[in-house]
Amino acid sequence: MTWWLLAGLLALAALAPLGFALLRPASARGRREADLALYHRQLAELERERAAGRLDEAAHAAAVLEVQRRLLAAPGAAEETAAPAAKGASAAAAHRAPLLAALVMVPAVAVALYWINGTPGLPSATFAERQGAAAQEEQLLALLRQRLAAAPDPNGEAARQGWALLGNAERGRGRPDAAAEAYARALAIRFDAELAGQRAQALLEANRTDEAARFLAEALPKAPDHIGLRFLTGLAEARAGRPETARTLWRALVAEAPPDAPWRAMVERRMQDLP
């Protein structure tokens, strides 16, 4: 009974913010405001993780850079048109009704399913079990490498996607060097600006700053308007000890940005941090 009471309290604590958000009056928010709000929440969460000791400085810097890259890659704010207040209120109410119903039904169904199939007395995974899971993941990555090496069409789209997948997996496991090499194999098959940005970021995470700068110098002419590549080029220059070059690049990026670009403030702060 104590376990069920604790589980109920935890569920209530988890669902209370959502219930409050659904019940309070809705405020109009455009794409730019939503992107910025999400960006600030993610940065705050990363700061809490670092303060709690769950992220070291290198991992924190890499995660912040990834959040900023996603902000830069977000599509521009769509044009918004004004709507009558009554229409907006009725539309908001119509959207809230199913969410409120789900707010009640989801925990009820979860409790029912766990009542039938759950085992609250089951102990947590041991260190040996976690090691076994990690070893299994390594085996899967090794198998993926073998299949890519023996691919019947090494320059085909399937191989390109496989190398990109391997790069994501290596980067997720904290191996930016291996990720950068996998991304390079994918880019050799077909250039993609987003994938080039991920490779540049992996090189920066691996402290291969000069190599990242050279790679970006080759990649940027292929996608001269890509915001992420332009930002990362400035970042590589800043880390290479060339702040004036970085400032020039970022100034040009901000000058061409629309006033409501969600990433504009982030780039401006980066410029302010330059020596």
Query: Which tens digit of pLDDT belongs to each residue from 63-91?
Result: 888 888 777 776 554 344 344 444 445 55
φ/ψ (deg, to 5) at 123:
-70, 160
Cα-based angle 11, 14, 16 (whole degrees, multiple of 5): 100
What pLDDT, on the 0 to 100 scale, is given for residue 82?
40
Identify the DSSP state of 112. Answer: H
Categorize the per-residue pLDDT at 54 as very low, low, confident or very high, splitting at 50, 70 and 90. confident
96 band by pLDDT with thresholds 50, 70 and 90:
low
Could you tell me which residue, 267 or 99, shows the higher pLDDT?
Answer: 267
Distances (CA, A) of 178 to 1, 181, 213: 49, 5, 18
Predicted pLDDT of residue 61: 84
Domains and CATH numbers, the chain: 132-190 (1.25.40)
Sequence-distant (≥ 6) Cβ neighbours of residue 157 within 8 angstroms = 189, 190
